[in-house]
Amino acid sequence: MSSKKIVCSLLLCVVSFACLSAANNLAGYVGYNKYTVQYDNEDAFKYMVDLQTNDAGLDFWLLTRNMSVLTVGPKMQAVFESRLSDLDVTYQTQPLMELMQALHSNSTFDEEDTGEDVEECQTSDCEYSRPRRRTRRQARGFFSRYPRYHEILNFMSGLAARYPQYCRYESLGRSNEGRHIAALSITLNSRVRPRRVAYIQAAAHGREWITTQTVLYLAYELLTNIRAFQRVLYDVEVFLVPLVNPDGYEYTHTTDRFWRKNRHRYAGHGCSGVDINRNFGNHWNFQGASQNLCSEVYSGTAPNSEPETSAVVRYLEFNRHRVKLSLDVHSFGKFIFYPYGYAKNTVPPTVGTLRSVALRAANQIGKYRGTRYTIGTSASILYEASGSLDDFAYGSLGIPLSYTLELPGEEFHVASFDIINVCKETFAGFIEFIRHVSLY
């Protein structure tokens, strides 16, 4: 067989495997519809909030004060549509499987990049003089797809092995299913001394794949251009946790593409999982969270009850006097939220500074290709939600710069060819946030 035929056969295998994986993780959604609901009255908004909190049969993808995007199973569609008619709101529907098929068919399959990865170093004997062009080409391959858990850990450990003078690879702890919650510490100066810390995490919700890639891209760009960021990194340690919810992330690849929570299973119960971003111990279970175990916003049995949450809390509490920025990366919606999210009319005392820094970051993101972010509290723009990391970091630990970033990507999907663009524009925002750490 010729080498060309072998390459073509391998490509067909990759495509077939990708299609099979996609089919498996959407198998439970036959007959589901996506609803986009528009409304301009408080009754409809309150109804949507109540549904999100208490009705486990619906999955909200986006909920704002004038629009909701959600999926509804076939058994509940007639009742839901009847209630929408009673509320006199407008809505559009689309079969979910048809939507996902269209999204995946619109993603460009790039033969040149398929299967390529950033070359990993597993020991300290790396060739630091290897050609930069080769590394760049391999990086483009990694950031044109969504890696699995083991690939992410390999990528992170490889960066630490290649740049040991600037980067440390570690684990904050283990998830419910025993996976490492891996982290990278990046600093310009390896001397042991107190440094201000910029803490950035992603993928607290398993289905938000693009978030992990943006944080990994931040690590890659900082390390491969370390001299260009000397001023930004001066006396600042960047601490990155790209995959806070590794169990949920893997589950979205193998079983349920839209799984949100972690994978905590409870004996004797059919429902599982805790919403990590409702589990932090600031106004826990106050509003926008549920004690219904089957709810998408189930807040857990107690504040910080989950191993994923407690791992983050341990790190932040131990370093509370050094951490000056806490940034929790989610998708989707193109929002930058600052505290407080637990109540609509609760304004933090440093709201001016929080808003000013967010505006600067949004401006830097917009320079790349014009993407525009909305800035404010999640309670004022979306709905009240308690137990989030941004409220905990600011309200409980006194971390002065605390934000939640909601990236682009409707339906929790960014096409493969567009991953690198979201990474690049978000990188500019990350750098602006980090730049302000040195001011504290």
Q: Closest Cα to residue 274, out of 265, 282, 284?
A: 265
Q: Closest Cα to residue 300, out of 387, 385, 389?
A: 387
Cβ(389)–Cβ(280) below 8 Å: yes
* pLDDT classification of 36: cutoffs 50, 70, 90: very high
Strand order in the sheet with 167-174: 167-174, 180-187, 236-241, 196-202, 323-331, 401-407, 335-337, 374-376
* pLDDT classification of 136: cutoffs 50, 70, 90: low
Q: Please tell me the distance from the alpha carbon of residue 70 to that of residue 411, in angstroms, as a whole number.
A: 10
Helix (H, G, I), strand (E, B) or coil at 32: coil
Token readout for 94 is: 């689309």
Residue-wise burial string across 395-406, b where 16 or more C-beta atoms lie within 10 A, e elsewhere: bbbebbbbbbbb
**What pLDDT is stored for residue 378 in this prediction?**
93
Residues 56-71 have a mean pLDDT of 91
**What pLDDT is stored for residue 167 in this prediction?**
95
**What pLDDT is stored for residue 214 in this prediction?**
98
Cβ(49)–Cβ(288) below 8 Å: yes
Residue 27 has pLDDT above 90, yes or no: no
Q: Please tell me the distance from the alpha carbon of residue 147 to that of residue 154, in angstroms, as a whole number.
A: 10
Active-site hit among 237, 406, 425, 432: 406
What secondary structure does DSSP assign to 168-223, as a single string?
EEEEEEE-TTS-EEEEEEEES--S-S--EEEEEEE-SSTT-HHHHHHHHHHHHHHH
Is 406 a residue of the active site? yes
**What pLDDT is stored for residue 132 in this prediction?**
47
Task: Write down the H helix ranges in 266-337.
Answer: 307-318
pLDDT digits (tens, 9 = 90+) for 234-248: 889 999 999 999 999
Q: What is the mean pLDDT of the chain?
A: 87
Token readout for 328 is: 């929790």
pLDDT digits (tens, 9 = 90+) for 333-357: 999 999 999 998 888 999 999 999 9
**What pLDDT is stored for residue 175 in this prediction?**
97
The H or E element spanning position 67 is: strand 67-72
Residue 21 has pLDDT above 70, yes or no: no
**Higher per-residue pLDDT: 176 or 102:** 176
**Higher per-residue pLDDT: 200 or 19:** 200
Cβ(205)–Cβ(245) below 8 Å: yes
**What pLDDT is stored for residue 13 in this prediction?**
46
Residues 189-217 have a mean pLDDT of 90
Residue 86 has pLDDT above 80, yes or no: yes
| Window from 34-48, 173-187, 318-332 with minimum mean pLDDT | 34-48
Token readout for 252 is: 């979205």
Token readout for 115 is: 């299967």
Local structure of residue 406 (DSSP, 8 states): E
**What pLDDT is stored for residue 312 in this prediction?**
98
User: The pTM is what?
Assistant: 0.88
Q: Please tell me the distance from the alpha carbon of residue 359 to that of residue 339, in angstroms, as a whole number.
A: 15
pLDDT digits (tens, 9 = 90+) for 365-403: 999 999 999 999 999 999 899 999 999 999 999 999 999
Residue 133 has pLDDT above 80, yes or no: no
What secondary structure does DSSP assign to 254-277, as a single string?
HT-TT--S---B-TT-S-B---GG
